[in-house]
């Protein structure tokens, strides 16, 4: 029988028109990103807080350097994890192994109070685990779809919503618990969900059929397979593929390389979010909540927390409907993680309502990014499916333009601040608008990029090519941290506006170059849309 989607017969059941397996990957990735973004939110805060508050009393500069290395290295290991999975262990084993290593990493970080070595061991395990996890789960998404059509793009966009649901909850909850209850609770919390997420994936993996098995297992399977028609079809496909001049393969790999280089400019600017944009939020904006503003903020905060929670819980229920029969245990584990998370959310919101907050926390702005993604991803996915769908390089150019415009808004907002001022009270709307533009840019670049890598990469090296795609983030995050750390000297000498203009001009220039390259790149993609 010819299946519409890749994977088992079970995977042909759909949720929102996509194969059920997409949502298994959605939730596994959601918990992993919860871990990554949760740690990212806590790292600098923990390091710079005083010994009395349980921190390490580091200088801001030192903490930002470690932050840069951590957020950079997690994106360097995928090239190794991708290669190992393509060649030897298969995507599924790699995802499970990676999740297990990351769970141990959280366990180790939670013991940071005993000796600081545990903290470093924990961070190293997270970096290694991510290398096995991230490129391989990204490859599996693409293999759920049999053709390279628009369905795959929209599959990646849904997956991207899972990424951001995890990021959103991780930043919100790990941040809150780490800061208010105790750092190691924050570090450990993510480990619990990572572990449940891993078990959920492990016990549901049969749904993927042959997708993600090791090259060796795939071979054995081929030997016994009875469905010879399918086999012949595949053989023909392989022959055609090989017959395709190696030039096509080479051209497409070059396009992935070009995308990976341009995306460095994007993330370099975008990732100022965790660094200089947070400094701007903390020291230069008016976050005071006077009069009724405090209550308004609490209500807004409750709505933006509960609504995404309801949406993902609804997705969870739809997945259960399709898979409970065959994967009851895995579903129970996943359900358990949701019960815990709802409990924490309700406890936190209740606690917040009782507090007498006088200002918006500086870290609050960073959840806007994931929130905007969850809200607007469906719209973008519709645009890509419509007649308005621009070519890949044009999408990249739009993304770069938007991130540049976002910094243009910040440059404008900072214009009234005297050179070298240490504080100011600029309206926080500038930050909200900047985050909005950056997120719209991200939607033009990041999920789209995943989909293009999946379409352009030769079948045998999909994960390795994802590794290369993620390596761009290594350079971007490291350089971004480095550039961001110059915020003080640059604003003393030339003003904060000049500092933000750097991040305006460079991405816009990169966008213009991308537009010039568009016709050539389109040709080199050889029919991939």
Name the residues that contact ligand GLN, by CB under 6 A. 33, 163, 267, 446, 473
Min. distance of Cβ 110 from ligand GLN in angstroms? 23
Min. distance of Cβ 445 from ligand GLN in angstroms? 9
78 or 413: whose CB is closer to ligand GLN?
Answer: 78
**Cβ-contact 414, 496 below 8 angstroms:** yes
Q: Which residue is nearest to ligand GLN (CB)?
A: 473
Plot region of 285 (φ>0 → left; ψ -120 to 50 → alpha; else → beta): beta
Question: What gap in Å lies between CA 83 and CA 464, rounded to an integer?
Answer: 5
Min. distance of Cβ 448 from ligand GLN in angstroms? 12
Min. distance of Cβ 370 from ligand GLN in angstroms? 8
256 or 496: whose CB is closer to ligand GLN?
Answer: 256
Question: What gap in Å lies between CA 457 and CA 275, rounded to an integer?
Answer: 33
Min. distance of Cβ 376 from ligand GLN in angstroms? 14
Query: How would DSSP label each residue in 106-127?
Result: HHHHHTTTT-HHHHHHHHHHHH
**Cβ-contact 389, 67 below 8 angstroms:** no
Min. distance of Cβ 13 from ligand GLN in angstroms? 27
446 or 454: whose CB is closer to ligand GLN?
Answer: 446
Question: What gap in Å lies between CA 233 and CA 504, rounded to an integer?
Answer: 51
130 or 504: whose CB is closer to ligand GLN?
Answer: 130
135 or 495: whose CB is closer to ligand GLN?
Answer: 135
Question: What gap in Å lies between CA 451 and CA 529, rounded to an integer?
Answer: 10
**Cβ-contact 182, 114 below 8 angstroms:** no
Min. distance of Cβ 327 from ligand GLN in angstroms? 25
163 or 207: whose CB is closer to ligand GLN?
Answer: 163
Min. distance of Cβ 269 from ligand GLN in angstroms? 12
Q: Is 195 exposed, middle or buried (0-12, 13-18, 19+ CB in 10 A)?
A: buried
Question: What gap in Å lies between CA 357 and CA 270, rounded to an integer?
Answer: 29
112 Cβ contact partners less than 8 Å away, ≥ 6 residues apart: 118, 119, 122, 183, 184, 187
Min. distance of Cβ 446 from ligand GLN in angstroms? 5
Number of helical H runs and strand E runs in the chain: 20, 2
Min. distance of Cβ 127 from ligand GLN in angstroms? 15
Min. distance of Cβ 266 from ligand GLN in angstroms? 9
Structure token pair of residue 119: 């903290």
474 or 499: whose CB is closer to ligand GLN?
Answer: 474
Structure token pair of residue 445: 């670049």
Q: Work out the end-to-end distance of the chain between its first and last CA atoms, rounded to an integer number of angstroms.
A: 28
Residue 345 main-chain phi, psi, to 5 deg: -60, -45
112 or 271: whose CB is closer to ligand GLN?
Answer: 271
**β-sheet bridge partners, residue 178:** none
- Mapping DSSP to helix (H, G, I), strand (E, B) and coil, where does residue 418 land? coil
26 or 267: whose CB is closer to ligand GLN?
Answer: 267
183 or 267: whose CB is closer to ligand GLN?
Answer: 267
82 or 209: whose CB is closer to ligand GLN?
Answer: 82
- Mapping DSSP to helix (H, G, I), strand (E, B) and coil, where does residue 18 land? strand
Angle at which helices 328-354 and 183-204 cross, to 10°: 160
75 or 195: whose CB is closer to ligand GLN?
Answer: 75
Min. distance of Cβ 473 from ligand GLN in angstroms? 4
Min. distance of Cβ 5 from ligand GLN in angstroms? 23
CA-derived radius of gyration, the chain: 23
268 Cβ contact partners less than 8 Å away, ≥ 6 residues apart: 475, 476, 479, 480, 483, 506
Taking alpha carbons only, the member of 412, 413, 401 closest to residue 437 is 401
* Residues 74-100: b if buried by 16+ CB within 10 A, e if exposed: bbbbbbebbbbbbeebbbbbbbbbbbb
Min. distance of Cβ 515 from ligand GLN in angstroms? 22
260 or 491: whose CB is closer to ligand GLN?
Answer: 260
**Cβ-contact 259, 522 below 8 angstroms:** no
Taking alpha carbons only, the member of 268, 87, 95 closest to residue 260 is 268
Question: What gap in Å lies between CA 435 and CA 366, rounded to an integer?
Answer: 8
Question: What gap in Å lies between CA 439 and CA 451, rounded to an integer?
Answer: 18
71 or 491: whose CB is closer to ligand GLN?
Answer: 71
């Amino acid at each position: 029988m010819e299946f519409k989607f890749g994977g088992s017969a079970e995977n042909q059941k759909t949720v929102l028109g996509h194969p059920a397996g997409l949502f298994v990957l959605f939730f596994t990735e959601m918990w992993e990103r919860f871990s990554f973004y949760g740690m990212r939110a806590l790292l600098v805060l923990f390091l710079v807080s005083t010994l009395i508050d349980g921190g390490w009393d580091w200088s801001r500069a030192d903490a930002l350097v470690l932050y840069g290395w951590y957020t950079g290295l997690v994106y360097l290991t995928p090239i190794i994890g991708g290669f190992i999975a393509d060649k030897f262990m298969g995507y599924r084993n790699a995802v499970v192994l990676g999740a297990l290593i990351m769970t141990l990493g959280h366990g180790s970080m939670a013991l940071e109070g005993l000796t600081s070595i545990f903290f470093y061991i924990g961070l190293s395990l997270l970096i290694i685990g991510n290398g096995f996890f991230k490129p391989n789960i990204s490859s599996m998404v693409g293999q759920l779809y049999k053709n390279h059509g628009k369905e795959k793009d929209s599959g990646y966009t849904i997956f991207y919503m899972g990424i951001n649901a995890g990021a959103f909850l991780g930043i919100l909850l790990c941040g809150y618990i780490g800061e208010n209850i105790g750092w190691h609770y924050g570090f450990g919390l993510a480990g619990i969900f990572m572990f449940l997420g891993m078990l959920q994936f492990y016990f549901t993996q049969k749904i993927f059929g042959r997708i993600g098995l090791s090259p060796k297992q795939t071979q054995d399977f081929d030997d016994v397979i009875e469905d010879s028609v399918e086999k012949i079809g595949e053989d023909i496909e392989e022959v055609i593929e090989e017959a395709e001049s190696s030039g096509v393969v080479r051209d497409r790999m070059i396009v992935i390389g070009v995308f990976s280089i341009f995306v460095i400019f994007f993330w370099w600017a975008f990732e100022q979010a965790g660094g200089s944009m947070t400094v701007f939020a903390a020291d230069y904006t008016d976050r005071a909540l006077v009069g009724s503003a405090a209550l308004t903020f609490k209500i807004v905060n409750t709505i933006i927390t509960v609504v995404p929670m309801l949406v993902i819980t609804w997705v969870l229920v739809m997945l259960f409907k399709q898979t409970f029969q065959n994967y009851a245990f895995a579903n129970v584990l996943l359900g358990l993680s949701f019960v815990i998370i709802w409990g924490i959310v309700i406890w936190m919101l209740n606690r917040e309502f009782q507090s007498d907050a006088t200002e918006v926390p500086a870290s609050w702005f960073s959840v806007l990014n994931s929130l905007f993604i969850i809200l607007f991803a469906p719209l973008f996915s519709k645009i890509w499916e419509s007649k308005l769908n621009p070519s890949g390089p044009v999408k990249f150019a739009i993304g770069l333009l938007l991130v540049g415009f976002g910094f243009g808004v910040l440059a404008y907002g900072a214009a009234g601040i005297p050179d070298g001022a240490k504080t100011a009270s600029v309206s926080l709307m500038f930050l909200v608008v900047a985050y909005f533009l950056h997120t719209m840019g991200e939607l033009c670049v990041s999920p789209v990029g995943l989909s293009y890598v999946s379409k352009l990469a030769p079948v045998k090296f999909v994960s390795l090519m994802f590794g290369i795609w993620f390596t761009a983030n290594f350079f971007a995050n490291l350089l971004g941290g480095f550039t961001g750390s110059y915020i003080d000297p640059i604003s003393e000498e030339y003003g904060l506006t000049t500092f933000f203009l750097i991040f305006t001009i460079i991405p816009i220039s990169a966008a213009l170059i991308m537009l010039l390259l568009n016709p050539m790149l389109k040709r080199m993609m050889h029919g991939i849309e």
